[in-house]
Copies of this chain bind each other. A is one copy, B any other.
Amino acid sequence: MHQKRLIQSEIDTLNNILTHINDELENLNRSERKVAEVILADPQTATRSTIAVLAKASQVSEPTVNRFCKKFNTAGFPDFKLHLAQALARGVPYVNRNVEPEDTSDSYTPKIFDATISSLAYAKEKLSPAVINQAVDQLIQAKQILFYGLGASGPVAQDAQHKFFRFNIPVTAYDDVLMQRMAAAACGTGDVVVVISYTGRTKELVDIAALARKSGACVIGITASASPLAKHCSVVLGVEAPEDTDVYMPMTSRIVHLAVIDVLATGVTLRRGPGFLSHLKKIKDSLKDTRYQTEPATRQN
């Protein structure tokens, strides 16, 4: 409970002077609150306003706006606008990030993209390159790699398999618990099991991770760092998605996981050295005959 709140507020701080304003609303003077409300109502416009316009809109004097800006650790109005613009550029709606029942395709389309983007931005900050490196260390020397995911993470595991087969290492993705358990029991030193789970709380999967570990495999978790699953992993790639984003179905979480897979695949590719690129090219080129070529007969649209 408390943990979740903490994460949320970290996201806020990380991203956003807007959330900061929102949080401080209580502690502001009457006039300053007017300013805050006008800004929060339409921050995009605020970034393009002059101090005079904003003062008028808030029905306060210009110096009040200026004082307001300084309260938020900015040098003055122009600097404040700069911070505001940067917060907005991150694409994070500071309130109402969630889709509402009244939304139309005009409004929910950008909201979903924004939520996805902001999860990625958050994960980018939080993921430690050092830990990525550890994971790559393990993957590069694996005799065999297994990707495990259940539910929405099933396709993520499949996707990972689709990437890693290129490395000439035996790779399998399992999305059912029986196969996962059997394969985990059969593991030995040199095998790497990558367990993908958003919550890290699925009992079966926690069990299976423990089992794989006991069998001598290296277990890499792509999961929430403070989860039961994480405790059983040799390497934890911690990704906590903000609360409330995935209301009733997994959305942003699995996309972040895919991005992590991309990072790992890239890491392995680079370790393999420049000669390996031609190998990848060969695989890509193998598809050539199955495709229509780009040049001809594509004048339209």
B270-A91 in contact (CB<8A): no
Residues of chain B with a CB closer than 8 A to A254's CB: 159, 258
**Using an 8 Å CB-CB cutoff, how does the interface string of A253-281 with B read, 1 for contact, 0 for none?**
01100110011011101100110010011
| A86-B85, A203-B292, A301-B226 known; A113 vs B109 contact (CB < 8 Å) | no
What CA separation (Å) do A294 and B200 show in the bound complex?
A: 10
Binding-face segment, A35-43, A59-67, A126-134: A126-134
Closest B residue to A267 by beta carbon equals B105
A162-B166 in contact (CB<8A): no
A82: contacting residue among B85, B121, B225, B284, CB under 8 A: B85
A113: contacting residue among B120, B155, B300, CB under 8 A: B120
Copies of this chain present: 2
Interface residue A244 (Cβ < 8 Å from any Cβ of B): no
Interface residue A106 (Cβ < 8 Å from any Cβ of B): yes
Q: How many interface residues does chain A have, given as a range?
A: 35 or more
Chain A interface, DSSP helix/strand/loop, else mixed: helix
Residues of chain B with a CB closer than 8 A to A90's CB: 89-90
Binding site for B on A (CB under 8 A): 1, 3-4, 47-48, 78-79, 81-82, 85-91, 99, 101, 103-106, 108-110, 112-114, 116-117, 120-121, 123-124, 127, 129-130, 132-133, 136, 151-152, 154-156, 158-159, 162-163, 166, 199, 201-204, 206, 225-228, 230-231, 247-249, 251, 254-255, 258-259, 262-263, 265-267, 269-270, 273-274, 277, 280-281, 283-284, 287, 290-295, 298, 300-301
